[in-house]
Structure 1
């Protein structure tokens, strides 16, 4: 009788262990199934999210392309669209988008600034070096909020279909100001060496016509001589990039010399200030009213 009780007890214990193992295995199996279900759900969510990301990326790319295609080509077009800011994104004909500086106030606005020379706000910062290569002048250089050259490719792109008006502003080291303007300004292609065409000088200008002598002459830099001087390489001698001939009457990309510091390599406009380098200058263009967007 005792033996039977002992055996029965052992059987009960063994059955308990078996039941525990079976129940534990079943719970483990159910947990695995639940986990696999969650993993599958996450995978499905990830696939949906990836699809949405791809769709969103395609939409953004389409929007970027649309915006690029609808950017104004210059500051005149930007002003026509109601943009009065001084720095805007434009897309010159046939060129990628770029940031340019605008003057939307002088004589009705619509001017795209193509050259800016001016002192920095800090005396510790040097003026920008304009003695650059042909490639630099081709694509442009400098800082849109400081000194810069917009680039000969941009000049050609903006003026090849229709000549633009040109406005030159000058300030000397005594604070005196002068200006000169023309009705027709155009820069030819690189194959034509970015040759200058400028006509229609406004005789109400106060600075004199220092571009007349440069008319129909190609552009030169220290590494790309195109001047007519048989004795000197004008760009190497005077620095900067310009429409040199033998050698210049105006030279607005020269070295920024200080007050009362003479030098033929300076920022010069001889029909107004014959010898001394100027403190600040700018060149701006816009389409004539008849072809404004």
Structure 2
């Protein structure tokens, strides 16, 4: 607006110069008008400079406020719970990553759980299930809907577990309505350089689902486009999904969501509970461990 006004002033000034050249008797009046226009242009420029300074200061204030908000976001659902939140979704900022919305379980075992995997029917007919046969990059960044089925992302798993001793809880449900769970005192996912290697231990005795993760301990993550298993076959291509395949698996929670009573090695499987029967629902969730983990027997 101010630039337009300045251009208009210049045009008027030029017109006055032309007018004065053709009316010698009005030169004095033209000179006065030219001086007045120059004063107006100077005032407009000064006002524009002041507004630009105000705009810069406003942007700095917004950036400062935005950084303050980001810096005060909880790292995970356990920190959100400690601050008094009971919400099932919240915005967090895992260490070293951008803020993101996550799903929380603030009820089970005192709450504080960050859900990292969810599998369950989202429609009455169970037809619309999320496809978990995804690429390495998609498993890295995460995919799905935190209100439905999703994978939080391997980068987030690494960020949330790399410096804090973390416990894992897996809950499983079959199509008959039976539900069971298992808990581990120690769960860690390595960096991408280490192919998101899984470290898991401290299986809690009394857990009902069995330890179908033990087979995958110290093994790397694989997808159909990034094979890191030790089997002669490409496990991720054969069975689908992304997982810490070895030779090939005892658990496979990113398998295909099969209809009721269907089974197969490409299904959602937890062999220490239902062998190769396709499961209906699964959740994996993590939180800082309440006690130190020891590898000593």
TM over 0.5: yes
Match of 1:206 in 2: 208
Partner of 2:221: 219
Using a 3 Å threshold, how does the CA distance of structure 1 residues 282 and 223 change in structure 2: closer, same or farther? same
Closer/same/farther in 2, CA of residues 38 and 155 from structure 1, 3 Å limit: same
Deviation at 1:208, TM superposition (A): 1.0
Q: Which residue of 1 aligns with 2:56?
A: 54
| Per-residue deviation, 1:57 | 1.3
SS in 1 for 2:286: strand
Aligned to 2:114: 112
Unaligned stretches of 5+ residues in structure 1? 1-27
Q: Which residue number in structure 1 is paired with residue 13 of structure 2?
A: none
- 72-81 vs 104-113, which moves further: 72-81
Correspondence for 1:258: 259
Q: The residue matched to 2:184 in structure 1 has which SS?
A: strand
Match of 1:144 in 2: 146
Q: Which residue of 2 aligns with 1:229?
A: 231
**What per-residue deviation string (whole Å, max 9, x for no partner) do you get for residues 221-247 of structure 1?**
1111111212x2110000000011111
* Aligned equivalent of 1:245: 246
> Could you say if the C-alpha distance between residues 169 and 40 of structure 1 is closer, same or farther in structure 2, counting changes exceeding 3 Å?
same
Q: Structure 1-normalised TM-score?
A: 0.82
The unaligned stretches of length 5 or more in structure 2 are: 1-29, 293-297
Deviation at 1:121, TM superposition (A): 2.8
For residues 258 and 40 of structure 1, the distance between their equivalents in structure 2, rounded to whole angstroms, comes to 76
Displacement of 1:37 in angstroms is: 8.0
Deviations 1:39-77 (A, max 9, x none): 876665554444323211110111111222222111111
CA distance in 1, matches of 2:165, 2:247: 26
Partner of 1:164: 166
**C-alpha separation in 1, matches of 2:120 and 2:169:** 16
Matches of 1:88 and 1:280, distance apart in 2? 22
Q: 140-149 or 118-127, which moves further after superposition? A: 118-127
Match of 1:193 among 179, 192, 195: 195
Q: Return the offset for 1:152.
A: 1.0
Distance 2:280 2:56 in 1: 54
Please report how far the alpha carbon of residue 135 of structure 1 lies from its aligned counterpart in structure 2 after TM superposition. Answer: 1.2
Q: Distance in 2 between matches of 1:148 and 1:133?
A: 14
CA distance in 2: counterparts of 1:96 and 1:71, whole angstroms: 11
Could you tell me which residue of structure 2 aligns to residue 4 of structure 1? none
Please give the secondary structure, in 2, of the residue aligned with 1:144. Answer: coil
| Segment of structure 1 superposing worse, 66-75 or 149-158 | 66-75
| Contact kept? 2:213, 2:251, Cα under 8 Å | yes
Shift in Å, 1:30: 11
1:272 partner SS: helix
Larger of the two Rg values belongs to structure: 1
4+ residue segments displaced more than 4 Å: 28-47
How many pairs align?
269
For 2:59 and 2:291, how far apart are their aligned partners in 1? 42
2:271 match: 270
What is the CA distance between 1:38 and its match in structure 2?
7.9
Counterpart secondary structure, 1:102: strand
- TM-score, L = length of structure 2: 0.81
The 5 Å alignment of 1:56-135 reads 56-121=58-123, 123=125, 126-135=128-137
Change (3 A) 1:86 1:30: farther
